[in-house]
Amino acid sequence: MSYKILTINPGSTSTKVGFFEGDELKFSVNVSHDASKLAEFGGISEQLPYRKEIILQELEKAGVDLSSVDAFVGRGGGLLAVEGGTYKVGDVLLDHARRGANGIQHPAQLGSQLANEFATQFNKPAFVVNPPDTDELILEARMTGIKGVYRNVHLHALNLKETAIRHSNLNGKKYEDCNYIVCHIGGGISISAHRQGKMIDGNDIVGGEGPMAPTRCGSIPAAEMIRYAFDHPDKKETLALTTKAGGFVSHLGTSDALDVFNRAEAGDKDAKLIWDTMTYQIVKYIGAMSTVLHGKVDGILLGGGMVHNKKLVADITEACSWIAPVTAYPGEFELEAMAAGAIRVLDGEEQAKEYTGVPRWTPDSI
């Protein structure tokens, strides 16, 4: 059966919407929101009526009949750590999304809320798929050298897992039977190890781990970061280095990766050093993930906006192809991933999970 699915992916100043019939994207739009208008709202969840109205206007223009939709899927956000999969939007999930139970305020919180608004109106199911707080770390990946301090994981889980699933399908294999190193290389950079369908390790892109990225500092020696914090007492500014003001922004004053690359190619020594450092660190983390998988790697998969850069892909391939074949999937499959997750449930291929609000892991689990 060719199910009709509406997917909703809220971002900082826009909301991406996709209408699917089966796996075919029939209509998509990136709805822009006026930044000054968004600033009028006290919190993320208060933007819900405004964003919903703008989305409805665009869908009406496109002639999308919402009453024909079989399921509505929103980007997950604000949730506590969960195992990967497709989750039904229920009361507990909505409560956590509204208040940002994970302590991170991000527009992705609106995804499940918007999906629920439409689903309730038309008496259809609402889902989230592989939310940002997907956590399948093995225990060894979670531990640190400080008692009581543990690694969390925040990755581009939705795109990482969908890239691995698609690659498996294209090669006549099942994701659950394969081992991959999967990278998302964009404004943030996620590098993850997938072992037989589970994302067992990866860098925390919110916590300041991994390679330097356009807006993120990446991993910093602990003592140096502590000294920096002592010398820069503004906590918000220091924390911003991990998600907004680090990386290219800190060194070069821009988050525009294409601009940095072009400057490097034109002979700008500073830009070249920073670009080459980012590439070096990506390769270094790919190598680390290969050891996590004991060298049994079926493929290294590259996704995200920067993967459109052929030189970056060539440099990574040159450094890492001895580990496993490198395959590039430029851009992202986020809307497609959300639709695919819903279809797997509607087809009975996968059972929808219940979000209980109990985190997948706590220190008491040890």
Q: Per residue in 201-218, pLDDT tens? A: 999 998 899 999 999 999
pTM of the model: 0.93
Q: Same structural domain for residues 311 and 358?
A: no
pLDDT for 303: 97
The long-range contacts involving 40-45, CB below 8 angstroms and separated by at least 24 positions, are 43/105, 44/100, 44/105, 44/106, 44/107, 44/109, 44/110, 45/97, 45/98, 45/99, 45/109, 45/110, 45/113
Q: What is the pLDDT at residue 239?
A: 92
Distances (CA, A) of 136 to 1, 76, 141, 271, 342: 32, 16, 10, 36, 21
Residue 145 lies in a domain: no
Same domain, 268 and 192: yes
Residues 164 and 92 in one domain: no
Note whether residue 87 is domain-resident. yes
Query: Are 110 and 169 found together in one domain?
Result: no
Other beta carbons less than 10 A from residue 194's beta carbon: 31
Q: Is 298 inside a domain boundary?
A: yes
pLDDT for res 308: 97
Instruction: Look up the CATH number of the domain holding residue 128.
Output: 3.30.420.40
Claim to verify: residue 52 and residue 183 sit in the same structural domain: no
The parts of the chain modelled with pLDDT lower than 70 are: none
Measure the N-to-C terminal CA separation of the chain; round to a whole number of Å.
Answer: 45
Q: Are residues 125 and 200 in the same domain?
A: no
**Cα separation of 47 and 160, whole Å?**
28
Q: What is the pLDDT of residue 50?
A: 94
Residues 339 and 229 in one domain: no
Q: Which pLDDT score, from 0 to 100, does residue 39 have?
A: 87
Residues 30 and 76 in one domain: yes
Residues 322 and 178 in one domain: yes
149 within a domain of the structure (yes/no): no
183 and 120 assigned to the same domain: no
Claim to verify: residue 344 and residue 296 sit in the same structural domain = no
Residue 104 confidence (pLDDT) = 84
Per the structure, the count of domains in the chain is: 2
| Burial of residue 24, with CB atoms counted within 10 A of its CB: 0-12 exposed, 13-18 middle, 19 or more buried | exposed
Question: Which pLDDT belongs to residue 33?
Answer: 86
Range of the domain at 265: 157-331
**Residue 152 domain flag:** no
206 and 323 in a single domain? The answer is yes
Tell whether 143 is covered by a domain. no
Q: How many CB atoms lie within 10 A of CB 121?
A: 11
151 within domain boundaries:
no
Note the residue count of the chain: 366
- 327: in domain: yes
